[in-house]
A and B are shown apart, each in its own frame.
Chain A
Amino acid sequence: MKVSFGVRVLSMLSALTPGLAFAEWNLNFTPASTLLGAEIQAVHDLVMWIIVVISIVVFGAMFWSILKHRKSVGHKAANFHENTTIEIIWTVIPIVILVAMAFPATRLLLATRDSSASDITIKATGYQWRWGYEYLDEGVKFYSTLATPRSQIDGVTEKTSTYLLEVDNPVVVPVGKKIRILTTANDVIHSWAVPGLAVKQDAIPGFIRDIAFKAETVGTYRGQCSELCGKEHGFMPIVVEVVSEEDYQSWIQAKLTVAGAPSFDPNKSYSVTELVAAGEQVYNANCVACHQAGGVGMPPTFPAIKGGKIATGSIQGHLDIILNGSAKNPMMAAWGPILSDMDLAAVIAYQRNGINSTGDFLQPADIAAARSE
């Protein structure tokens, strides 16, 4: 009753709200693409049916006595207050039910924790706030960052169907292969979770954990970080594209080619205009969540870049804090391992000449030199 009333109220309201064009009244699990996921959902259904039967008995007795054993219908109170037989019965029956549930649960748990004999091993590293992936045998490495533009989050532009569940670089895996994910983290605890693949594993700094899945169908599976990891916890999704073996091989080749040939010329001298234009993109993808549009920041945790003493001070100091992170403020991550020389040169140029106007900037070659020091 309540739901159908809610549905009516909501359908009226949703007509007024543009964001709900893709809304769904989901009542159950996301359909699983793995056999284990399907089994987990089957055991869940079994447990739910046991619960339905128990509720019919317990709530049946409760509502029967509410209706029949009330003073207003003239029912006189009995005076019994114990019955050893029935008390033993209603202790033993739950034990039997629980033992019956424990068997499928145990079998299933042992199966889900088996990550041996995997075909592909991928290391997933949680960062505040993106995922880094490394295909250990293939040598492919990349970062995966939320692709939803800030304007959709702020409601300036219309939200698309994959709102908050889209990334720039998805994980690509072949169908029908057992994939082992090693999880770890760089800063705080994150959790690598994809409901459609029935996996969730915390990523713990300083430790490696693992989990495995084998997708049976080609498709795109979307998940989110599932352990509170700070401010942008809700904005670091996980996207796994399950493709055919051939598509997977060509994707690996393409990734290796890109990695071998950087998209910038490390020895070229770029103009400040080129660097600022590129740097704005880098800033909006990586810095804007904390330092905000236009570099106004959110003091004191996230200092302003506009007029800030780092972005207007010595350019070497500026480079150092971006490359290595801040010793004083743990919220400022080290971007050296994440961004390329070009990206770093560009974002420094943007912060100094786009947001501020110091006039000085660095070339990718300067960054490379600073890295090798």
Chain B
Amino acid sequence: MEAAHDHNHDHHEPTGIMRYVTTTNHKDIGSMYLWFSFMMFLVGGVMALVIRAELFQPGLQVVEPEFFNQMTTLHGLIMVFGAIMPAFVGFANWQIPMMIGAPDMAFPRMNNWSFWLLPPAGILLMGSLLAPGGAGGVGWTMYAPLTIQQGMGMDMMIFAIHILGMSSIMGSINIITTILNMRAPGMTMMKMPLFVWTWLITAYLLVASMPVLAGAVTMTLTDRHFGTHFFNAAGGGDPVLYQHIFWFFGHPEVYIIAIPAFGVISEVIPTFSRKPLFGYASMVYATGSIAILSFLVWAHHMYTVGMPVEAQLYYMFATMLIAIPTGVKVFNWVATMWKGSMSFETPMLFAQGFLFLFTIGGFTGIVLAVTPIDIQLHDTYYVVAHFHYVMVAGALFAAFAGVYYWLPKWIGKMYDERLGKIHFWLSLTFFNVTFFVQHFLGLAGMPRRIPDYALQFADWNMVSSIGAFGFGLSQVFFLYVLLKAIRSGEKAPEMPWEGATTLEWTHLPTPAPYHSFETPPDLRS
């Protein structure tokens, strides 16, 4: 192991708030990404609770329909662009250099800017609520021509998306360059930890898809203010064109969120199974296949727009294909656990929760792939349940697993294992109370994005709302677990997880020094 040098005092770096404003250190920037995403997660969560409070009972009790629509819109945008995506960029910043034996990211100053673009974008998103007429009440998908009718809150949201897109693209270029150029000698591509592989693939997805979203919202902006008619049939445009462009971004976006989560899980499961990852090469190929397929299936979000039946058939078959690489990944994780020597600390519990619930989300994905069934379930709560199984029990649980797993390496202190386990069981229980019942609502035909509903939907909505408040409180409890670990956690042992094999555990002290791998480790042997 390298000696733990603290180089801070050599460089006369700014302290206090200026340290974070000017920092080019991947660990500082990673921490800022993670804290920012957690704050946005709480904001988006409060919005979800406003939605669930209104839906607790039939009738309009808590908010007006217009404000309800603004909540569903901002909840979606904030969770996707403000919470989940920056959280995984935070993991990438902290972990990629340490896992490939690099001293920092390839472009440290651009890294600083990528992060500092986020707070203005977050302020624009939340500030849109204060604009005359409020935020856009259009859903996170922002379908034209409803967007034309909104007030200036809509423009603020469009600019926020532009800024978030710039941040993501720069972050991705940084990640790609770091991984391709800064690996330690002997760290060949097929020896990279799977987390690094998944981020390499995700970064390419981001570079390819974010400009498409920027184009879609820019066209919305010019339709709103500069007399263009991209999405206006009266001027020769087509409202469905917007949906094609949006989902050409939107489907890869699903995998931009899911693939880094696969990476975290592929680190956690082998560590706590004390057994190498099963089928490393097939994991890499499966992830690559999923990424390529994700660009070929976008219109399965649009089966009800009335496209030709031949196109519906193509999208159905292409969508079914995704089940194959996704299945390979699930089988590989189970095979990694098989005949291992497993222990169930909090990271492993969240990984198991991920495996079980993400697979259920995959199953409902197969149901939705079948076009005639999807048309029945399109825009109902079944779809809401399906994507929350993938986004919350998938990406969010993986993020929790990652935080508990790497926290000792980051801060040199342990979280309270008992409290971590309580956080897991609360999250697991309330997640299912909230979202499992939404499958039933969707099958019974309850549309999404409605502030009030018919009486036959009352029972499951009440159950779902109770679950949502439980889930929300469980995440406040998570904040307590985190703060307790940071303030008064026990000192972490040099190697808290006996099964860990990646460089940050084997070649660096705990906690990791501010500057690590100033000379790369030699892994050729």
Contacts and interface: CB of A to CB of B under 8 A. Distances in A.
A295 interface: no
Contacts of B278: 80-82
A234 B66 contact: no
A55 interface: yes
Contact of A70 (B149, B240, B341): B341
Interface string B448-488: 11111111111110110010000000000000000000000
A125 interface: no
Given A59-B359, A200-B378, 10 more contacts: A13-B462, A79-B275, A187-B149, A206-B238, A209-B306, A225-B447, A227-B143, A234-B450, A301-B151, A330-B148
A205 B373 CA distance: 25
Contact of B65 (A20, A87, A193, A232): A232
A329 B250 CA distance: 31
Contacts of B444: 26, 28-30, 195
A51 B363 contact: yes
A226 interface: yes
Interface string A82-94: 1000110011001
Contacts of B359: 55, 58-59
Contacts of B145: 187-189, 205
B459 A82 contact: no
B304 A201 contact: yes
A71 interface: yes
Contacts of B245: none
Interface in B165-204: none
Interface of B: 57-61, 64-66, 69, 132-133, 137-139, 143, 145-146, 148-149, 151, 232-234, 238-240, 273-282, 304-306, 309, 312-313, 316-317, 320-321, 323-324, 327-328, 330-331, 334-344, 352, 355-356, 359, 363, 366-367, 370-373, 375-376, 378-380, 429, 432-433, 436-437, 440-441, 443-445, 447-460, 462-463, 466
Interface of A: 2-3, 6, 9-10, 13-14, 17, 19-30, 40, 43-44, 47-48, 51, 54-55, 58-59, 61-62, 65-66, 69-72, 75-82, 86-87, 90-91, 94-95, 98, 101-102, 105-106, 108-110, 112-113, 152-155, 159, 161-165, 183, 187-189, 191, 193, 195, 198, 200-202, 204-207, 209-210, 222-235, 298, 300-301, 330-331
Given A23-B455, A90-B331, A228 B449 contact: yes
Contact of B279 (A29, A82, A206, A301): A82
Contacts of B379: 191, 193, 200, 226-227
B352 A66 contact: yes
Contacts of B453: 164, 234
Given A77-B275, A106-B313, A90 B328 contact: yes
Given A47-B366, A90-B331, A227-B379, A189 B146 contact: yes
Contacts of A222: 454
A82 B278 CA distance: 6
A109 B339 contact: no
Nearest to B436: A2
Contacts of A28: 440, 443-444
Nearest to A229: B146
Contacts of B447: 193, 224-226, 234
Instruction: List 3 A-B pairs, minimum CB-CB distance, nearest first.
Output: A206-B233, A234-B450, A209-B306
A161 B455 contact: yes
B227 to A, nearest CB: 14
A373 B30 CA distance: 67
A54 B455 contact: no
Given A30-B444, A79-B276, A24 B239 contact: no
A112 B276 contact: no
Given A198-B376, A228-B449, A301-B151, A191 B304 contact: yes
Contact of B339 (A51, A65, A229): A65
A109 B371 contact: yes
Contact of B280 (A13, A58, A82): A82
